[in-house]
Amino acid sequence: MKTEKRLLATMLSVLCIGAWPLTSHADSAITLAIPDLAAERSLPMTLNGDASVRDGALYLTHAGGDLYGSSFYAQPVSLFNNQSFSAHFSFQITSPTCTRGLGGDGLAFVIHSNSSMSKAYGQGLGYSGLSSSLAVEFDTFENGVYGDPDNNHIGINLNGDARSIVTAKAPFFLNDGVPYYTWVDYNGATKVLEIRISDGIARPSTPVLAHTVDLSGVLKSDVFFGFSAATGSCHQQHLIKSIYFHKDFIAEGIDPVQNEYFTDRSK
């Protein structure tokens, strides 16, 4: 009998050890976690301009000319640690018009310090003119007057200025209809802003764009975060498929592959 009990205990131990990797993911509370907009009953975001929620996505614009659209978290968020934050989202840009696959004009991840909205279409990407703001552009149209390097780049823009302070060539064609996964992280201690992008869900180890910038002189402590997009004479659809945001820097980034996130509703 004792031998049978020891054997049973050993088998249970092996089974538990073997099952451990299946439950190793950590549950983490962050400011906002929407893994799949198609499963979201009520989006806690404002809708401005052409923005709408349909077909399981947040549409910032449809494929029409001279449009703007934006969507921001409905409540202000306090960036209490030197404006530090981490964000992760997926987007899709489809149905570009004009020749050679060109479409207008792109979308942006935006953080700003006031509740006013921009109505800038075309090269303004729906955020131009917003004071006290940070925009990370995913730009698909070359506007030479604003110093755009090409029609497929990522840029960092401050205080509603459509001229980027730094750009990097996108490693993919941003408006080819493929869903892209993006990470934007700002460490207020080092003042380094990093942007990563991938066509898969795994977070790249190397950023496509990294830049040192002091956001304490740009953003106030209470901010609104979200997205904007615009079209011009060339146009396309701009979709957001998932949204994660945290009001502090996460060193390893927001990584749904390794962790399961949920919205912190304690405050």
pLDDT at 100: 62
Three-class SS state of 199: coil
pLDDT at 267: 57
pLDDT at 8: 43
Question: Is residue 122 pLDDT above 60, yes or no?
Answer: yes
Question: Is residue 244 pLDDT above 90, yes or no?
Answer: yes
pLDDT at 88: 98
User: 16-25, 196-205, 212-221: lowest mean pLDDT where?
Assistant: 16-25
Q: Which tens digits make up the pLDDT trace of 39-74? A: 888 899 999 999 999 999 999 999 999 999 999 999
- Mean pLDDT over 122-132 rounds to 88
- The amino acid present at 202, given as its one-letter code, is A
**Predicted confidence band of residue 83 (pLDDT cuts 50, 70, 90):** very high
Cβ–Cβ < 8 Å for 62, 103: no
Domains, the chain, ordered by start:
29-263 (2.60.120.200)
Please state, in angstroms and rounded to a whole number, the distance separating the CA atoms of residues 225 and 138.
Answer: 16
Would you give the end-to-end CA distance of the chain in angstroms? Answer: 55
Q: What is the pTM of this model?
A: 0.88
Q: Which tens digits make up the pLDDT trace of 177-186? A: 999 999 999 9
Cα-based distances in Å from 206 to 183, 190, 198, 264: 11, 17, 11, 29
Bridge partners, 90 (sequence order): 181, 242
Strands 26-30 and 259-263: parallel
**Predicted confidence band of residue 26 (pLDDT cuts 50, 70, 90):** low
Question: Is residue 9 pLDDT above 90, yes or no?
Answer: no
User: 123-127, 164-168, 256-260: lowest mean pLDDT where?
Assistant: 123-127
**b/e 85-101 (16+ beta carbons within 10 angstroms → b):** bbbbbbbbbeebbeeee
Cβ–Cβ < 8 Å for 237, 94: yes
Q: What is the mean pLDDT of the chain?
A: 88
Please state, in angstroms and rounded to a whole number, the distance separating the CA atoms of residues 200 and 109.
Answer: 19
